[in-house]
Structure 1
Amino acid sequence: MRLLAAIATGIALLGAAPVPAPPTPPAPSASAVTWGVTPSSAKGPNGRPAFTYKLDPGATLTDYVAVTNHSARPLTLNLYASDAFTTAQGGFDLLAGAQKPTDVGAWVRFAGGTVTIPSASRLDIPFTLTVPGNATPGDHAGGIVTSLAATAADVQGNQVAVDHRVGARIYLRVSGKLQPALTVEDLRVRHTGSLNPLAGGTLTATFTVRNTGNVRLTGQPTLAATGPFGLGRRLTDAAALPEILPGGELTTTVGMTGVPPLFRLTASAAVTPAAVGDQVLDPEPRSDTARATVWAMPWPQLGLLVLLALVGWALIAARRRRARQIARVVAAAREEGRAEASRAAPALSTASGDGSAASHVVTVRHHVDEPLRSRLGSKQ
């Protein structure tokens, strides 16, 4: 709980936005004055960072807000209360000045709608807060606002009315059953691959966290990613979420690096609710999870596999070509050997003459047929 602005200029304000100027007397330029707003007592500020209450339906209390003028001139400000909401980025803001509050901002009453503070002075202004009898249990947030109407030039040079605001937060808890709950919605996932085939890609998940309970909460987001059949599971924790008011929502993005591209990834975004400050949540709220799938094609890895396959094919083809070349060389050598043997045989026959050749043949036949005649003679 913090002051929306402490001793700030009218420019550093709670939700400053162009709005129709309220019907108040002309005010000095906001850049020429500074003022602060803080919780107080009848005797002055008491160190509270915000107006924090816990009341029953139908209860009424009186409290004080201190408005300090740090300028060298008197300052007339509009004084009112408004409802708070959570911005899409997780900020705390109040309704525009022209928008009528319907929650705790409507339960606060001041004696008047404007206040004039002398130069270099402080006023401790009383107000009443009355909780309706039918108020819903849980947290109600708003703020007490002081505003200064001024004019400024827009980007086109036109003069527009601007409501510069400084205020202090209100946190009211109405007694009753508390139901803390956060839900994860609208999960969108994107996978960006890496050119390095040995490294994984980046998985980016964007989702909305909505406070569907009645207690202001923070939360711890986590992101998990798995491939088919649970392969390549990875898990990462993101930074804790800022405060989300009941009924509020914010959009957050969680990134994860080194995610392997396993063709089809399943991403799971989860948020575990947590109490804000020193609150105690009993029982502990459950986490909520949303899932989405995304294609993660391993193009660099596939390219590397194709390259390896081409290199392997080239090596095998080269080996086969070499084997064929060796086979052709061996076959040629054999053929050449046969040819040389064929050429050598006639030359040998011619050198020995016909008689010796015939004698050689007869001698060979004699040695071969001799055993056969021995066997035939024994049988006779």
Structure 2
Amino acid sequence: MSTTPQSPRQFRSRPGRAFAALALTTAFLGLGVGTAAGDAEAPVRWSVAPATGDGPDGRLSLRHVADPGEEVSDAVAVTNLGTEPAEFAVAVGDGVVGQSGVFDIATGEPTGSGSWISVGGLDEGTVTVPGGETAVLPVIVEVPEDATPGDHPAGIAVGVSTDEDGITVQRRIGVRLHLQVAGELEPALAVSAEGTSYRRSSWVPFSPGTLVVDYEIANEGNVRLGAATTLDAEGLFGLGSARDSDGVDELLPGDVVSRSVDVEVSPWFLLFGDLSVTALAVGEDEVSPPEVASHGFTRTAVPWTELAVVVVLAGVVGMALARRRRTRMAAATASAPVGEGAES
């Protein structure tokens, strides 16, 4: 059974009002089915999904391309999978991707594209759904006239608050909004090595060590991108070359993430490296990838163990040569004829 709410123009979900009463809130954002312990220990289970007026329609997210000033209509369905009525807090928010690379919906008052979203069918930011039923909530996205071209990620989170040992805990799941404002798309990534280090893995002579490169990738364009990073390193005269790779699943416009990659390479006094990043389209996005960005660097890698071995060997050889020379001189002195005395 579906519950049809009133027009979304009458309400704008306010995460500040919906969640401000929580003394302590722990938020868990997921996509799919949420579960939270109820007041009487009966778990509250719910799902949130893109929808039409009849209910969930099988989409994974809300995806739209809109012109500046355009209004976009859509809907989400909140389904109570339990048997008892439950109240769900509904909030809109800006889309973010953390250092872990996982998409999330920011809490608090939205300042970006989350503020363009209105959700209908809410009473002070909440909706009560009977057990086993679904509420379809209309969604309207009002794109500002001055919106810049490119991706403007946002989302709608639906949560349940419970009291666990005197602590108010909120668990929430959400629907992502892939919103792209029409215009010129400018995909661009930049990479920089923030620091390098070299450590020996053992003191066994001529064994390789580990070159560690800490780096940052910045999305300097206006569309989201994935990134594949490759590290190439070699010693003097191309000795001991090595390669390794790393990657980032998703970078939103303006995002900067820190990563670390390492390779095993033998110490050859100086190591020369090149860090390159290749942009990748994410999911169903159609993006013309930019040129590969790269950053070159050098790192000292003195082969102290090998030098110590050379010094020891040189000392042993020198001592052996000196001993041999002394032995030969002593033998030559012993075999020399005794000189005759002077005539009177």
Distance 2:48 2:192 in 1: 37
Unaligned runs of 5+ in 1: 12-26, 154-158, 343-380
Deviations 1:64-111 (A, max 9, x none): 211111222211011122111121222212212xx2112221111112
Structure having the larger proportion of residues in strand:
2
Distance 1:62 1:70 in 2: 26
DSSP-derived class of the 1:196 partner: coil
Distance 1:266 1:201 in 2: 14
Distance 2:33 2:196 in 1: 43
DSSP-derived class of the 1:33 partner: strand
Structure having the larger proportion of residues in helix:
1
Aligned ranges for residues 24-63 of structure 1 at < 5 Å? 28=39, 32-63=43-74
For residue 290 of structure 1, what is the aligned residue in structure 2? Answer: 295
Aligned ranges for residues 1-380 of structure 1 at < 5 Å? 4-10=30-36, 28=39, 32-96=43-107, 99-111=108-120, 112=122, 113-152=125-164, 159-185=166-192, 187-193=194-200, 194-227=202-235, 231-232=238-239, 234-257=241-264, 259-282=265-288, 284-331=289-336, 334-335=337-338
**What code does the residue aligned with 2:229 have?**
P
Checking the alignment, whether the CA contact within 8 Å between 1:185 and 1:209 is kept in structure 2 is yes
User: 1:309 Cα shift?
Assistant: 0.6
Distance 1:39 1:250 in 2: 30
Checking the alignment, whether the CA contact within 8 Å between 2:193 and 2:275 is kept in structure 1 is no
Distance 2:109 2:193 in 1: 30
C-alpha RMSD of matched pairs (Å): 2.4
CA gap of 1:119–1:318, structure 2 versus 1, over 3 A, is same
Distance 2:244 2:150 in 1: 29
Checking the alignment, whether the CA contact within 8 Å between 2:81 and 2:132 is kept in structure 1 is yes
**What code does the residue aligned with 2:109 have?**
K
CA gap of 1:151–1:264, structure 2 versus 1, over 3 A, is farther
Distance 2:326 2:41 in 1: 89
TM-score when normalising by structure 1: 0.75
Unaligned runs of 5+ in 2: 1-28
Larger Rg: 1
DSSP-derived class of the 1:316 partner: helix
**Aligned positions, number:** 309
**What code does the residue aligned with 1:221 have?**
T
**What code does the residue aligned with 1:138 have?**
G
User: 1:152 Cα shift?
Assistant: 4.0
Checking the alignment, whether the CA contact within 8 Å between 1:221 and 1:271 is kept in structure 2 is yes
For residue 6 of structure 2, what is the aligned residue in structure 1? Answer: none
For residue 16 of structure 2, what is the aligned residue in structure 1? Answer: none
User: 1:139 Cα shift?
Assistant: 0.8
Distance 1:209 1:31 in 2: 46
